[in-house]
Amino acid sequence: MAPEPHNVAHREIEQELWAWLSDFVTVANEFYRFKFPPCPYARGALMAQTVDVVAWQSGDLRTFIRDHAIRLRENQKLTTLVMAFPPRTQLAWGITEYVERLNAELIPDNVFLNTGVAKSTQSRYPGSAGQPYFIIVANSLDVVLKGAKSLQKSDYYQDWPKAHYENVVERRARLAQRYRKI
């Protein structure tokens, strides 16, 4: 069941996510002892203008996710597309499984989806109670795999909990191996 439509200006939400990318995702973080930002490649992607942000307004979540993931696949200029949703979306029945099914469909076309939350944000969607936005990030798979391989040569992953590393890095590699075109 999709969250109810809302009256929040989606452009304001998109602007908040752009600010989050610039002010959090690209900035050296305490977790990494201020050696790395949460995404070491985000600043370069932002400067190259290969990133876009979209905010869900209303309608079917699954259609929105699929349509925008396909947009990344069809747009040779973009490498990353951040989709923003109300926090409660992460609890929508079957949303995680849907994203995994979409990965099976889109990985052969070099698109990988990952779910998460936009830490340090406070959602403007009604009923969010100060929680961060739920996000789905679509990436060009080749770019992400290349970046992860490079980061494995550094101490970037050193303090990641084992379960998180398995869920992000190893899962992505397994899915890529399973579904990529040979």
Does the pLDDT at position 72 exceed 80? yes
| Nearest by Cα to 95 from 63, 139, 138 | 63
What is the structure's pLDDT at 182? 63
Residues 125/8, Cβ–Cβ less than 8 Å? yes
Residues 136/90, Cβ–Cβ less than 8 Å? no
Can you tell me the distance from the alpha carbon of 152 to that of 166, in angstroms, rounded to the nearest whole number? 13
Q: Pairing relation of β-strands 111-117 and 80-85?
A: unpaired
pLDDT digits (tens, 9 = 90+) for 85-140: 999 999 888 999 999 999 999 999 999 999 999 999 999 998 899 999 999 999 99
Prediction pTM value = 0.91
Locate all alpha helices (DSSP H) within 36-182, ordered by sequence: 42-47, 61-74, 95-106, 141-151, 162-165, 171-179
